[in-house]
Amino acid sequence: MSKRRFAKEKMYRLAQARIEILWKQALQESKKRPDIARKQMLSARKIAQRARIKIPREVNRRVCKECGTILIPGDTCRVRIRHNRSKHVVVTCTECGNVKRYYSTMTRSQA
């Protein structure tokens, strides 16, 4: 393993750790200070882009791609299950109106 590659992997790990911390903080802030939570999630997204890593699926699913709002069913998002052609879940962000669709057969979580 070259030195450069080693540095890259270290960067990935750091970025992942930072995203995880930001996500946990944003979750805690989301009720009291949603604007701060939103900024945290937007910066987590930027970190992920810069490090070219993926945001964990369970995090990605719960954050609006457009405005960074943490999606809480009945609070900051609307969740509907639709059946045209295939069953899918529609999640609408009530902050900016962005719509997410999940064509997933998994029923474990809908958020």
Instruction: By CB under 5 A, name the binding residues for Zn ion.
Output: 64, 66-67, 69, 93, 95-96, 98
| 69, 100 contact by CB (below 8 A) | no
The answer to whether the CB of 39 falls within 8 A of the CB of 70 is no
Q: Which is nearer to Zn ion, 20 or 66 (CB)?
A: 66
Judged by beta carbon, residue 51 or residue 78, the one nearer Zn ion is: 78
Q: How far is the CB of 100 from Zn ion (least distance, A)?
A: 9
Nearest distance from residue 56's CB to Zn ion, in Å? 19
Least Å distance, CB 77 to Zn ion, is: 8
Contacts 24+ apart (CB under 8 A), 41-46: 41/68, 41/69, 41/70, 42/67, 42/68, 44/18, 44/19
The contacts found for 27-32 with CB under 8 angstroms, 24 or more apart, are 27/70, 30/70, 30/72, 30/76
Which CB, 42 or 64, lies closer to Zn ion? 64
From the CB of 93, what's the least distance to Zn ion, in Å?
A: 3
Q: Residue 48 or residue 91: which is nearer to Zn ion going by CB?
A: 91
